[in-house]
Amino acid sequence: MLACPVCGAALHADAAGLRCAAGHGFDRARQGHVTLLPPNGSPHDGDSAAMVADRAGFLAAGHYAGITAALADAVLAGGPPGTLLDAGGGTGAHLAGVLDRTPDAVGVVLDASRYAARRAARAHPRAMAVVADSWARWPVRDAAVDRVLVVFAPRNGAETARVLRPGGRLVVVTPAADHLTELVGPLGLLTVDPAKADRLAASLGPHLRPVGTTPHRERLVLDHAAVRTLVGMGPHARHLAEEELAARIAALPPQVGVTVAVDVGSWQQDPAT
């Protein structure tokens, strides 16, 4: 599935890491991940160690298990896949949940954060983690992937279309307008762009055909510690001072009802491509 970021040739695993036929080598880090960047390349800033730790804790508690299940349902709707690519996949928790439902599949997490990749490398026995730039050419071979997953992460329509096999699908999870609505005002969180769905269609439409979108709604009850990790794991963490966030969370009821509202959309590569 993976391609050399220097010459584009197929990569194969050896005892040290990954190698291509031209001799370009990429060693496996002590934590298990591999960095696949072009010469002199560096990824966009990825999530910090603190953000990744918050995400790992929140997801490990099972709060977004419903989202993972909805993602897996959409992945399987097009038939059982053999290869999965989670672009911007963070800790690999969502991919791991999908792999548990697809026993014959293997998966790769691409993420710009080395902190996320360290965790993703241990997320599932049939998954590996790669540090790469989601906005540059992905270190993935043409038409090598059955499903691309994007959960709360930016979409790269051109690269998705390039790596998908004919008939392959992209499954995207995006927040709906009322996602976490009970926390937005009290905590000063970022709101969902009302034009998000239109922007999604505009970015993917030139490359893939829409299959359909399924809404997923549920209600969580979170204590203050869970609320703090929820805020800390996402983009809100970059916009709130820790002291201000702590004061606002302290003013909440001890148990907070929170709406989880996402849309799970599927887009397909033309089978004739």
For residue 190, what pLDDT is reported?
A: 85
Phi, psi (rounded to 5 degrees) for 232: -70, -20
Is the predicted pLDDT of residue 270 greater than 90, yes or no? no
The reply, when asked if residue 236 is annotated as ligand binding, is no
Q: What is the mean pLDDT of residues 229-257?
A: 90
Q: How far apart are CA 132 and CA 43, in angstroms?
A: 6
Residue 78: pLDDT band with limits 50, 70, 90: confident
For residue 272, what pLDDT is reported?
A: 63
Q: How far apart are CA 222 and CA 226, in angstroms?
A: 6
Exposure string of 182-200, with b = 16+ CB inside 10 Å and e = fewer, is bbeeebebeebeeeebeeb
- 258 by DSSP, 3-state: which? strand
Is the predicted pLDDT of residue 239 greater than 60, yes or no? yes
Of residues 62 and 44, which shows the higher confidence score?
62
Q: What amino acid occupies position 217?
A: R
**Interval 145-189: pLDDT, tens:** 999 999 999 999 999 999 999 999 999 999 999 999 999 999 988
For residue 171, what pLDDT is reported?
A: 98
Residue 237: pLDDT band with limits 50, 70, 90: low
Of residues 211 and 190, which shows the higher confidence score?
211
The reply, when asked if residue 64 is annotated as ligand binding, is yes
The reply, when asked if residue 259 is annotated as ligand binding, is no
Is the predicted pLDDT of residue 139 greater than 90, yes or no? yes
Is the predicted pLDDT of residue 45 greater than 80, yes or no? no
The reply, when asked if residue 7 is annotated as ligand binding, is yes
Instruction: Please report, for the chain, the start and end positions of each structural domain, with discontinuous segments joined by +.
Output: 35-268
> Quick one: CATH architecture of 35-268?
3-Layer(aba) Sandwich (3.40)
The reply, when asked if residue 83 is annotated as ligand binding, is no
For residue 234, what pLDDT is reported?
A: 85
At which residue do the structure tokens 């071979």 appear? 141
The reply, when asked if residue 20 is annotated as ligand binding, is yes
| Percent over 90 (pLDDT), the chain | 83
**Interval 208-222: pLDDT, tens:** 999 999 999 999 999
